[in-house]
Amino acid sequence: MKKAGQLWKIFFSTLYLSAFTFGGGYVIITLLKQKFVDDLHWIDEEEMLDLVAIAQSSPGPIAVNGAVAVGYKLAGLPGILTAVAGAILPPFVILTLISLFYTAFRDNSVIQALLRGMRAGVCAVILSVVCDMTFGMMKARDWVLIPMMLTAFAANYFFHVSAVWIILTAALLGVLRTVLRAKRGGASA
């Protein structure tokens, strides 16, 4: 009985967080911490930092990965399934409704004007995020990264190499570099 109660609480927590979190994965990570560390006291602060690192090290949406890490820690496999179901249900329902709406209203002139204006806004948001990410990357003072960035950009933008291949190549280089460093540096890696 107690177990089922905990699962419901996990489900409603991630459902609620996912339904009201605008502005990307990092926001939801903060809210997961508030809920499960500060509010429910189910996870201690230090362990939460590691769960966040797990979420950020996995591919895919951070909100989903965060739900996996928290769900696993709290209740194993049933915890994962409940937490992930809670996290994806709100966007699934909302985007299904919008998809119907979009098809019906795409040709409406008011909707078109709003989308047109918002398009200029979304460009600004994306480029601002790129600025933040570039500055953050430069702080690492790892000078191999800048030529890598320029090469990846040129390959995708000018030579139309698919994003899939660029990510796979960079991941392979990352694995090689990490393994070489670990061999050379021993414990320092």
Stretch that binds other proteins, among 7-15, 37-45, 105-113 (CB under 8 A): 105-113
Q: Is 73 in the site for other proteins (CB under 8 A)?
A: yes
Question: Structure tokens of 65?
Answer: 């990965």
CA angle at 169 for the pair 164 and 173, rounded to the nearest 5°: 150
DSSP H or E segment with residue 186 = none
Give CA–CA dist 26/33, Å, rounded: 11
* Segment lying near other proteins (by CB under 8 A), choices 2-10, 37-45, 150-158: 150-158
Q: Which of 5, 41, 124, 183 binds other proteins (CB under 8 A)?
A: 124
Is 168 near other proteins (CB under 8 A)? yes
The alpha carbons of the chain give a radius of gyration, in whole angstroms, of 21
Nearest to 68 by CA among 10, 112, 24, 150: 10
Contact status: 42 vs other proteins (CB under 8 A): no
Cα 34 from Cα 87, distance rounded (Å): 16
**Residue 34 contacts other proteins per CB under 8 A:** no
The correct pick among 2, 5, 45, 59 for binding other proteins (CB under 8 A) is: 59
* Residue 22, SS3 per DSSP: coil
Quick one: which segment of 1-9, 30-38, 93-101 binds other proteins (CB under 8 A)?
A: 93-101
103 binding other proteins? (CB under 8 A)? yes
Q: Kindly state whether residue 104 participates in binding other proteins, applying the rule CB under 8 A.
A: no
CB nearer to other proteins: pick between 1 and 98: 98
